[in-house]
Amino acid sequence: MPLDAMKDISDDALLVLFANGDRAAARALTLRLTPRVLAHAQRLLGNAAEAEDVAQEAMLRLWKVAPDWRQGDAKVTTWLYRVVANLCTDRLRKARPLPLDAAPEPLDTAQGADAALQGAARVDALQKALVRLPRRQRQAVVLRHLEDLGNPEIAGIMEISVEAVESLLTRGRRALAAELAGRRAELGFADEHE
Amino acid sequence: MNDDDITALKAHFEAARSHAARPSEALLARVLADAMQIQEEQAETPAPQGRAPAHEAGFWRQVFQGLGGWPALTGLATATVVGIWIGASPPSGLEGYLAEGEAAFVVDLDPWDAFDLASVMEGAM
């Protein structure tokens, strides 16, 4: 089956096809889910090489669980976000703290050079502030504001109540704002208000 | 948090969303290679041979199976026929047990063994 024909098929239906030996489903799931898994891992870890390892491991676990997957039980992405978070937690526990001036990852500079540089600087500043947040606050903020998920889904991924998610988000945003407040002029925010 | 904080945070989040890490061709190739390998392994592993779904047995089939099938039914039929024959034409050895005017009943309690004889007085019925 061509990949185009699979764009309207849900993730869990593709996973069932995968379990039945459909190679096109394997390719479709790889192309659809690996970017999300990688981006999430990188936002939680702040490290590209480690994020790649986590992404590959998370996808491997997905392939292995495919024969036992029951359609309708849970969203595949919800399951994956949870696996990624657990893998990242394991790595962060074992790893030494990241240096505060860790270099940002190479960024896409397809947009205008100035805007790209400013955007890159903002991403870099946010990433450095994110890795200083407590782990659960970071996870909640990333899921809400970078993965664009709703609070109920975040609650499902983190296996906590919606109220607890809201509390983590409030504290996380406040900490991020405090962390970034001193760099506004440097990051181009002063220009926007003039 | 004041409005400036919120505005700045939103800009940071927007920038981060548009600068999401993209998987390299090498990573996609590794993930796909894992997928193919797992698919092959899962195809080689025979699915567990579960018991075939049981037929929806009808009432008489359930009764037949509940009695023990053909062997039990054969013994039951034999005992029944013998019992009827004894009732209709009692052997001479039984005459001492059965007085005139008494009714004799053969009660088959265990089709696998012999049958028991119960004598019930007409007045007790």
Q: What pLDDT, in 10s, does the model give residues B17-69?
A: 988 889 999 999 999 999 999 999 988 876 554 443 444 445 556 665 666 66
Measured between beta carbons, the chain B residues lying within 8 angstroms of A38 are 21-23, 27
Q: How far apart are CA B4 and CA A178, in angstroms?
A: 11
Identity of the residue in A60, A180, A192 whose CB atom sits nearest the CB atom of B12: A180
Residue of B nearest to A37 (CA): B23
Measured between beta carbons, the chain B residues lying within 8 angstroms of A56 are 27, 30-31, 34
Where along chain A do its domains lie?
A: 1-98, 111-194
Give, in order, the Cα–Cα distances in Å from B77 to each of B63, B72, B81, B111: 15, 9, 6, 8
The confidence score (pLDDT) of residue A121 equals: 84
First to last CA, chain B: 97
Looking at domain A111-194, its CATH class is mainly alpha
Given a contact cutoff of 8 angstroms between Cβ atoms, the answer to whether A130 and A39 are in contact is: no
- Whether B23 sits inside 8 A of A43 (CB atoms) is no
Q: Please state the ipTM of this predicted complex.
A: 0.81
The confidence score (pLDDT) of residue B104 equals: 55
Pick the CATH number of A1-98 from 1.10.540.10, 1.20.1340.10, 1.10.1740.10, 1.10.510.10: 1.10.1740.10
- Whether B21 sits inside 8 A of A181 (CB atoms) is no
Q: Which residue has the higher pLDDT, B75 or A165?
A: A165
HSE-up of residue B17 (Cα within 13 Å, Cβ side): 15
Mutate which of A52, A128, A171 to disrupt the B interface (most B C-beta within 10 Å)? A52
The confidence score (pLDDT) of residue A116 equals: 67
Closest CA of chain A from B14, distance in Å: 8
- Between A4-8, A45-49, B91-95, B114-118, the lowest mean confidence (pLDDT) is in B114-118
Measured between beta carbons, the chain B residues lying within 8 angstroms of A61 are none
Identity of the residue in A34, A105, A108 whose CB atom sits nearest the CB atom of B27: A34
Residue of A nearest to B40 (CA): A21
pLDDT at B80 over 80: no
Q: Which residue has the higher pLDDT, A90 or B117?
A: A90
- Whether B8 sits inside 8 A of A181 (CB atoms) is yes
Given a contact cutoff of 8 angstroms between Cβ atoms, the answer to whether A146 and A121 are in contact is: no
The confidence score (pLDDT) of residue A107 equals: 47
Coil/strand/helix, residue A112: coil
**Mean pLDDT for each consecutive 10-residue tract of chain A (194 residues)?**
73 94 96 96 93 97 94 88 95 68 47 68 90 95 95 95 96 92 69 45
Q: How far apart are CA A133 and CA A137, in angstroms?
A: 6
* H or E element, residue A52: helix A48-65
pLDDT at B5 over 60: yes
Q: What is the maximal distance between C-alpha atoms in chain A?
A: 60
The confidence score (pLDDT) of residue A2 equals: 59
Chain-centroid distance of CA A114 in Å reads 26
Q: How far apart are CA A194 and CA A183, in angstroms?
A: 16
Q: How far apart are CA B82 and CA B116, in angstroms?
A: 12
- Whether A34 sits inside 8 A of B18 (CB atoms) is no
Measured between beta carbons, the chain B residues lying within 8 angstroms of A80 are none
Give, in order, the Cα–Cα distances in Å from A155 to each of A33, A40, A62, A71, A175: 21, 16, 21, 21, 21
Identity of the residue in B4, B23, B34 whose CB atom sits nearest the CB atom of A38: B23
The confidence score (pLDDT) of residue B96 equals: 62
Identity of the residue in A52, A108, A146 whose CB atom sits nearest the CB atom of B27: A52
- Whether A177 sits inside 8 A of B8 (CB atoms) is yes
Looking at residues B63-92, what average pLDDT do you find?
69
The confidence score (pLDDT) of residue A14 equals: 95
